[in-house]
Structure 1
Amino acid sequence: MRDMIKVYKALSDESRLRVLNLLFERECCVCEVEQVLEISQSKASRILGTLYDVGFLNLRKEGLWSLYSIDWEGMGDHLRGILEAVRRGFTGNQQMDADRERLKTTVRIGPGCAGKTCSEVLESKPVNA
């Protein structure tokens, strides 16, 4: 029962739902979530950590880089059913549609962000880079 409470609490936050919406589209790194939601790196990491802890996400490391995706194969039928219902609920939602559009224009910074926050790397890049 306690695990189910954690699952539903994880889904009770707008920012976490917006992150799930991005991950329904494709694998994302922390800096992409940060850019789309216009939040700090620490908040993006905290949100992804919460979603990972309840069993929704897969974490893949590429050097110092953390890449998150929906763990469809690793989760049980119950969690899969919940996420499928959440995904259907996003259909036609203006905020979710806008976030998916912004995701298309995000910059995956890559290993170059090691030692800096993703925001610092973005700010230091030339506009047309």
Structure 2
Amino acid sequence: MDLIEIFKALGDENRIRILNLLIRQELCVCEIETVLDMTQSNASRHLNKLKTSGIITSEKKSQWVYYRVDNKFIEENNLLYEFIKNKMAENTQLLRDIETLKKYKNSNFTCEQLREDKSQVLKYLREQCNNN
């Protein structure tokens, strides 16, 4: 893994927000775009940059592609990985993203529902986040 490419990939707020979620769990692109309220094309572009740099990996399961932090990246860059995790725990926006992820996961919405009516899921998440 090229250190310059890793830092280029980490040099974008949206990619940091995506990585923040993937550190916690494996997610489908539709879940990432919903939790972070971004378009599918934007999420896919950022995921591709993270994947190309070797930070994340993906696996196709049925019709969905799931992303997670690459174990090889963690092993080869453990100090950097731990530093990033610690710094993420200090960032207000990233902490809000984690709370939104928890609310999404507790909602029991599925990727199929996201495909059918993403606006319904986003409305639910906004209501849940505003209640806190």
Q: Give the TM interval when normalised to the shorter protein.
A: 0.7 to 0.9
In 2, Cα distance between the equivalents of 1:40 and 1:67? 17
| Alpha-carbon offset, residue 105 of structure 1 | 2.1
In 2, Cα distance between the equivalents of 1:47 and 1:108? 24
User: 1:13: which partner in 2?
Assistant: 12
The percent identity for this pair of structures is: 34
Count of matched residue pairs: 120
Alignment check: 8 A CA contact 1:23 1:70 kept: yes
State the TM-score, normalizing by the size of structure 1. Answer: 0.79
CA distance change for structure 1 residues 38 and 76 in 2, over 3 Å: closer, same or farther? Answer: closer
Q: Which runs of 5+ in 2 are unaligned?
A: 125-132
Is 2:121 the counterpart of 1:122?
A: no
Q: Which runs of 5+ in 1 are unaligned?
A: none
Alignment of 1:1-129 (within 5 A): 3-72=2-71, 74-75=72-73, 77-106=75-104, 109-110=110-111, 112=112, 118=114, 121-123=117-119
**Greater helix share, 1 or 2?**
2
Aligned partner of 1:104: which letter? K
In 2, Cα distance between the equivalents of 1:17 and 1:44? 12
| Alpha-carbon offset, residue 58 of structure 1 | 2.0
State the TM-score, normalizing by the size of structure 2. Answer: 0.77
